[in-house]
Amino acid sequence: MRSLLLATTNRHKIEEFRTIFSDLPWHLLSLHDIHVDMDVEETGTTFAENATLKALTYARATGMFALADDSGLEIDALGGAPGVYSARFIRPDASYDERFRVILETMQGLSAELRAARFRCVIALAEPSGSVRSVEGVIEGVIADAPRGQNGFGYDPIFLVPSLGKTTAELSSDDKNSISHRGRAAQKARELLEVWPVFPVPHQ
C-alpha cells in the first residue's frame, strides 16, 4: 500500500481527510506519525500558491508523497478578506471569538444580499521529484448575524448556507464533508489518488 503524508498539524483537517479518503488504497500518515516537526511559512498570495508550497516542501523534506491544503473565508463586503490570511486575521494568536466579533461588528446592519461569502480550499498533491497537481473546492454562503453551532471549527459558526438554513457548525460531519469547500476539493483529490501515477503529472 502506498503512503500519503497529510502535511498539516490541524487535527480537524486530518480527521476530515482520513474520513474522506478512508476507502482508498493509501496509508495515510500525519506529520506526528513520522515525527516531523517543521513549519512552512505561507508566503504565497493565493491559496494555490500556499498549498503548493507546503506540499512540495514536505514532499522534498520527507521523501514522501504529500498532500497539503490552504483554505479560508472570503467575504465580499470586506474585499475578499480575510482570504489567505484567515488563520492570521487580526493577529496570529487571536481567538476565533475575537475574529467573529470584528467581522460581525464591521458588517452590522448589512442586508443578506451584502453579506455574501464563500469558503475556498485548494489541495495540492506533490511528489519529492517536484511533480504537483492541485484542485479547488468552493462553497457559497452568507455571513450569519451571530455565531451558531458547536460542530466544525474555524469560521464555521458564522458561515450560513442559505439553502439549508444552517451554519456549517450546525451540520453533522458527514453532511459538512459532502458540501464543504474542503470536502469538494478532497473529492477531486480522490479522483487523482485513485489513478496516481498512471497519468503524467506536469511540473508547476
CA–CA distance from 117 to each of 114, 160, 203 (Å)?
9, 9, 32
Catalytic-residue membership of 97: no
Q: How far apart are CA 154 and CA 73, in angstroms?
A: 9
Catalytic: which of 23, 37, 39, 70? Answer: 70
The C-alpha atoms of residue 42 and residue 37 are separated, in whole angstroms, by 16
Any residues with CB less than 8 A from the CB of 30 and at least 6 apart, and which?
5, 6, 8, 14
Helices 11-20 + 181-195 axis angle, to 10: 50
Q: For residue 109, give the C-alpha cell.
A: 446592519
Which residues carry out catalysis? 70
